[in-house]
């Protein structure tokens, strides 16, 4: 088994075919939003079904595929920033039978947080029980939370409680990186996919411990949860190649790339469906990509932008791989792996060496 910090969702196309994916993101990288995504209006006929938003247990099935189950009965998410704009299904789920911690309270005893749709009311009580004063910081704690029964979610999947789980076609890793990672890329194979997960990093936010904005390695988004040596954990991931004959494809996404002025380049939220569509079509062998040392990256025309006002130059920048930046990144990844000593799987060192060599050739060309 793989016991992972992952969401599970089903992506249904207009023909009624459902592709199940699991995805792992460090805290405050949009995992709950993705788990309950509502496709943009331009994607008529597409649907997203929520199997789980936080934990996935994956095991090889009799057909050689990995199957995932969600052992949880509810959702546990960060409140600030959650709204009908960012996550309408989540807001609909929170309409009743919910528990909140460290949020602010309105005069009529309703929860309130920064980023919610309702404007800041007069007479607000902050998360410490004081009359709200901006000088004291935010009204709701930046890591304030909600928990609610998953069955209340409008996108809750009928497969959520299937004892056999759902077959996983893709595993998606992601992090909050302002410059390094492109919008999406596909790992070359399972070995490279394990490397992709093991090298996940994210710029910290208030939802994570430590200084805001610092790059923090968070392999498979499991740093707060992995109960044994990461090198042995990566080896266990590698061992799945001998246990399952039809392993999922592995992808990495980054919704948080910024331009030279520090502005987010990708709209995110429901428009992340456009990236999911490419992932689904790659799994089905219908979408194109071009190889890079980092992985297979879509051509700009492979991302469906129908109904979205996004300049081609912006999309090109979102998909760009900068050899100089990646040379530094891979050097840092190698140093991080070295910290785990001889127990690190040789396959991870092999991937570091391969990417370094390919980047060097690219830079020399």
Query: Which DSSP letter does residue 200 get?
Result: -
Of 29, 90, 153, 283, the catalytic one is 29
What's the first-to-final CA gap in the chain, in angstroms?
44
Are the C-beta atoms of residues 347 and 194 closer than 8 Å to each other? Answer: yes
Pick from 145, 43, 159, 153: nearest CA to 87: 153
| Angstrom distances, CA of residue 94 to CA of 41, 85, 120, 145 | 23, 14, 19, 12
Annotated catalytic residue 226: no
Residue position matching structure tokens 């710029």:
203
Q: Angle at Cα 208 formed by Cα 205 and Cα 210, nearest 5°? A: 85
CA-based diameter of the chain, in Å? 66
State the burial class of residue 290 (Cβ atoms within 10 Å of its Cβ: 0-12, 13-18, 19+). Answer: exposed
Q: Phi/psi of residue 334, each to 5°?
A: -60, -40
Q: Which residues are catalytic?
A: 29
């Amino acid at each position: 088994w793989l016991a992972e910090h992952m969401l599970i969702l089903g992506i249904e196309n207009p023909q009624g075919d459902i592709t199940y994916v699991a995805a792992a993101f460090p805290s405050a990288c949009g995992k709950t939003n993705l788990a309950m995504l509502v496709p943009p209006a331009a994607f008529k006929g597409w649907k997203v079904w929520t199997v789980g938003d936080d934990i996935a247990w994956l095991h090889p099935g009799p057909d050689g595929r990995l199957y995932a189950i969600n052992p949880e009965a509810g959702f546990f998410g960060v409140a600030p920033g959650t709204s009908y704009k960012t996550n309408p299904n989540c807001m609909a789920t929170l309409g009743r039978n919910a528990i909140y911690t460290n949020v602010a309270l309105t005069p009529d005893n309703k929860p309130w947080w920064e980023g919610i749709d309702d404007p800041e009311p007069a007479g607000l009580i902050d998360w410490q029980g004081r009359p709200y004063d901006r000088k004291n910081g935010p009204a709701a704690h930046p890591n304030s939370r909600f928990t609610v029964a998953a069955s209340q979610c409008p996108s809750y999947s009928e497969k959520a409680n299937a004892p056999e789980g759902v077959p996983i076609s893709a595993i998606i890793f992601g992090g909050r990186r302002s410059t390094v990672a492109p919008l999406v890329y596909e790992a070359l194979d399972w070995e490279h996919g394990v490397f992709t997960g093991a090298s996940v990093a994210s710029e910290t936010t208030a939802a994570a411990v430590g200084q805001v904005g610092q790059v923090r390695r968070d392999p498979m988004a499991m740093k707060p949860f992995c109960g044994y040596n990461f090198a042995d954990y990566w080896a266990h991931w590698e061992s799945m190649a001998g246990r399952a004959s039809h392993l999922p494809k592995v992808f990495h996404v980054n919704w948080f790339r910024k331009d030279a002025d520090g502005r987010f380049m990708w709209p995110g939220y429901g428009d992340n469906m456009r990236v999911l569509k490419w992932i689904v079509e790659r799994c089905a062998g219908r979408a194109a990509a071009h190889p890079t040392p980092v992985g297979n990256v879509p051509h700009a025309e492979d991302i469906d932008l129908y109904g979205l006002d996004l300049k081609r130059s912006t999309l090109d920048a979102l998909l760009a791989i900068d050899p100089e930046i990646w040379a530094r990144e891979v050097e840092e990844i190698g140093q991080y792996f070295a910290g785990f000593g001889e127990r690190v799987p040789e396959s991870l060192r092999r991937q570091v060496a391969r990417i370094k060599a390919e980047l060097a050739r690219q830079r020399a060309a």
